[in-house]
């Protein structure tokens, strides 16, 4: 019998504890003790019980919970009534699961084909992936998925901008595509933009982004095909974190490679420049078992049943009762009955805005306004007076522009590579006619003195809840400020915003 415990960030209810309060110690999830396998996404969690039922909780704006809607949950909710679910895997906003009959099913975000269904359309209920019934293993990265069939073949789908699919190019796929001709693939793991895999002969292979040495190949050069890691043939379990990889050997030793900004390698050091580009042994113990990686975190269970964690801990994700980082594996509690651990990458939030109508006067005078006759009277620089009205969409005939700016995003003298900015919106109903509303993102690399020309993108159709605007490949900067503007005559709710960043050497 297996009970389930969770810790860390819980802003979307992903811990399944019935609330949205984060934890810094492992808390038991309900009284059920029949949990069998678990997978963690960006802000959601999926699990299979021993009776073959599938359960999900957390963020659901893209239908990743598979419940037929886009409403978040803070407790595990059963997916349908089926009792033949066997295995589940998650990427950031997507969930894939295998049934006992060998069929593969997928739900959630599909903008780069990560569901493998052959299109780029999101789903909010599990849809079957093809007609095959020989799927045996699934693993997800941020925006890609890799899978193994019962015949030992390896398949991949989704984002491939860094070669993480191992197909010899950097072209995205929206259907599972076979990787090479090999038939002895045994286990797989997906990181942010890299993939590691082991074969039945004990060899280890890796492909994709390698800027921190996460492929363990002795250099920092990306690959778009699987390359063998060293000459050893005794690799056993493998796991991938955001920009690092973890593995055990058949002798029970533990090895790590890649980014070590927060001590996620567990080698007793941390920080920029402390990464490794070859697998390095962690201590001398030979009792390591189950392993997993998260966002600058690593977890492991030893053969004596104790659980250990290292790395980033600002939100209590290590479960150690505090928010202090660790650079060595530290035991989580005193229990010696742990069997496995699961984790996924956390977000680096720029700003989180509570749902509210976002309409603002362009120029406000009179010390911010005067209350008169139950109205707020404000003035502009020309001497005109106005009454604030939540149902007004123009400013003296001109479109009202709503502006949001972030604080300066900086890490001292280190350049930050801005991979992606995402903002979630509700575009309400406004004036009749016109195109779908858009948001424009500008950025400044001098602390906000001057801004770029900006890039516009749709924030969804009118009355579209949870539409996601994405800006990718935004360059590098030491002092970045983002400015978001919306001028369409509609009611707009900005649900939340975040960015994926990483430190770079150049």
Q: How far is CA 326 from CA 59, 131, 157, 192, 315, in A?
A: 28, 46, 35, 22, 13
What residue spans of 331-419 are helical by DSSP H? none
Span 169-173, average pLDDT: 96
In angstroms, rounded to a whole number, what is the distance separating the alpha carbons of residues 155 and 165?
A: 8
The pLDDT of residue 185: 97
In angstroms, rounded to a whole number, what is the distance separating the alpha carbons of residues 89 and 100?
A: 15
The pLDDT of residue 353: 28
Span 325-353, average pLDDT: 67
pLDDT at 104 over 80: yes
**Do 222 and 193 form a contact (C-beta atoms < 8 A)?**
no
pLDDT at 200 over 90: yes
Under the banding of pLDDT at 50, 70 and 90, the label for residue 28 is very high
pLDDT at 21 over 60: yes
Query: In this predicted model, what pLDDT tens digit does every residue of 355-386 receive, in sequence order?
Result: 222 222 333 333 345 556 666 676 665 566 77
**CATH value of 5-349 in 1.20.120.1810, 3.30.300.210, 2.130.10.30, 2.140.10.10:** 2.130.10.30
pLDDT at 409 over 70: yes
The pLDDT of residue 438: 81
Under the banding of pLDDT at 50, 70 and 90, the label for residue 184 is very high
Phi-psi region of 42 (alpha: psi -120 to 50; beta: other; left: phi over 0): alpha
Identify the DSSP state of 169. Answer: S
Span 84-109, average pLDDT: 95
**Do 54 and 99 form a contact (C-beta atoms < 8 A)?**
no
In angstroms, rounded to a whole number, what is the distance separating the alpha carbons of residues 156 and 162?
A: 13
Annotate 109-124 with b (16+ C-beta within 10 A) or e (fewer). Answer: bbbbbbbbbeeeebbb
Vertex 98 angle, CA 20 and 208, to 5°? 80
The pLDDT of residue 492: 72
The pLDDT of residue 99: 96
Query: In this predicted model, what pLDDT tens digit does every residue of 413-455 receive, in sequence order?
Result: 777 878 778 787 766 655 554 556 788 889 888 877 788 888 8
pLDDT at 504 over 90: no
Under the banding of pLDDT at 50, 70 and 90, the label for residue 479 is confident
- CATH superfamily entry for domain 400-503: Galactose-binding domain-like (2.60.120.260)
Residues 6+ apart with CB under 8 A from 448: 405, 408, 481
Mean pLDDT of all residues belonging to the chain: 85
Q: How far is CA 267 from CA 239, 259, 283, 401, in A?
A: 17, 12, 8, 51
In angstroms, rounded to a whole number, what is the distance separating the alpha carbons of residues 109 and 63?
A: 7
In angstroms, rounded to a whole number, what is the distance separating the alpha carbons of residues 140 and 412?
A: 33
Span 309-335, average pLDDT: 92
Hey, which residues does 255 pair with through a beta bridge? 247, 281
In angstroms, rounded to a whole number, what is the distance separating the alpha carbons of residues 261 and 504?
A: 11
Nearest to 176 by CA among 239, 98, 68, 83: 98
Q: What are phi and psi of 367, to 5 degrees?
A: 55, 40
Query: In this predicted model, what pLDDT tens digit does every residue of 285-304 receive, in sequence order?
Result: 999 999 999 989 999 999 99
DSSP letters spanning 474-503: --EESSBEEEEEE-SSS-EEEEEEEEEEEE
- Comparison of pLDDT for 57 and 426, the residue scoring more: 57
DSSP letters spanning 121-168: --EEEEEE-SS---EEEEEE-SSEEEEEETTS-EEEEE--TTSTT-BS
Domain ranges of the chain: 5-349, 361-398, 400-503
Tokens 């996404």 belong to which residue? Answer: 41
The pLDDT of residue 152: 96
Nearest to 145 by CA among 181, 183, 109, 186: 109
The pLDDT of residue 425: 72
The pLDDT of residue 315: 86
């Amino acid at each position: 019998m297996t009970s389930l415990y969770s810790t860390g960030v819980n802003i979307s209810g992903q811990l399944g504890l019935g609330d949205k309060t984060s934890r810094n110690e492992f808390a038991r999830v309900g009284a059920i003790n029949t949990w069998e396998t678990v997978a963690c996404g960006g802000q959601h969690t999926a699990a299979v019980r021993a009776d073959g039922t599938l359960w999900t909780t957390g963020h659901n704006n893209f239908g990743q919970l598979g419940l037929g809607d886009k409403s978040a949950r803070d407790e595990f909710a059963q997916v349908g009534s089926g009792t033949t679910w066997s295995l589940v895997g998650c990427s950031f906003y997507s969930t894939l699961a295998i049934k006992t009959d060998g069929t593969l099913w997928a739900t959630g975000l599909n903008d780069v084909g990560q569901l493998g269904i052959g299109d780029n359309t999101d789903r909010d209920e599990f849809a079957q992936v093809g007609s095959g019934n020989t799927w045996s293993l699934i693993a997800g990265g941020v925006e890609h998925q890799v899978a193994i069939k019962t015949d030992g073949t390896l398949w991949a789908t989704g984002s491939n901008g860094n070669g993480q699919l191992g197909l010899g190019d950097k072209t995205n796929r929206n259907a599972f595509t076979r990787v090479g001709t090999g038939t002895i693939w045994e286990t797989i793991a997906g990181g942010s933009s890299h993939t590691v895999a082991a074969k039945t002969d004990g060899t280890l292979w890796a492909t994709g982004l390698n800027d921190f040495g996460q492929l363990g190949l002795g250099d920092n050069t990306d690959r778009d095909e699987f390359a063998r890691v060293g000459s050893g043939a005794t690799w056993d379990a493998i796991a991938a974190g955001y920009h690092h990889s973890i593995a055990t050997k058949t002798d029970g030793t533990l090895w790590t490679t890649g980014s070590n900004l927060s001590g996620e390698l567990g080698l007793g050091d941390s920080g920029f420049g402390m990464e490794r580009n070859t697998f390095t042994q962690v201590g001398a113990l030979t009792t390591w078992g189950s392993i997993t990686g998260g966002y600058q975190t690593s977890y492991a269970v030893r053969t004596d049943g104790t659980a250990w964690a290292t790395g980033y801990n600002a939100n209590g994700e290590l479960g150690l009762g505090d928010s202090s980082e660790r650079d060595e594996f530290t035991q989580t509690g005193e229990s010696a009955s742990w069997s496995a651990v699961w984790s996924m990458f956390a977000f680096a939030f720029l700003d989180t805005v509570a749902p509210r109508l976002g309409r603002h006067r362009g120029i406000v005078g009179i010390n911010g306004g005067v209350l008169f006759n139950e109205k707020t009277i404000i003035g502009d620089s020309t001497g005109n007076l106005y009454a604030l009205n939540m149902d007004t969409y123009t400013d003296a005939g001109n479109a009202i522009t709503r502006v949001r700016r972030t604080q300066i995003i900086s890490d001292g003298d280190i350049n930050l590579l801005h991979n992606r900015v995402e903002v979630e919106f509700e575009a309400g109903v406004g004036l009749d006619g016109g195109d779908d509303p858009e948001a424009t993102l500008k950025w400044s690399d001098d602390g906000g003195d001057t801004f770029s020309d900006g890039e516009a993108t749709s924030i969804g159709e009118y009355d579209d809840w949870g539409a996601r605007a994405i800006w990718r490949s935004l360059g590098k900067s030491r002092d970045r400020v983002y400015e978001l503007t919306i001028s369409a005559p509609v009611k707009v709710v900005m649900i939340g915003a975040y960015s994926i960043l990483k430190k770079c050497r150049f």
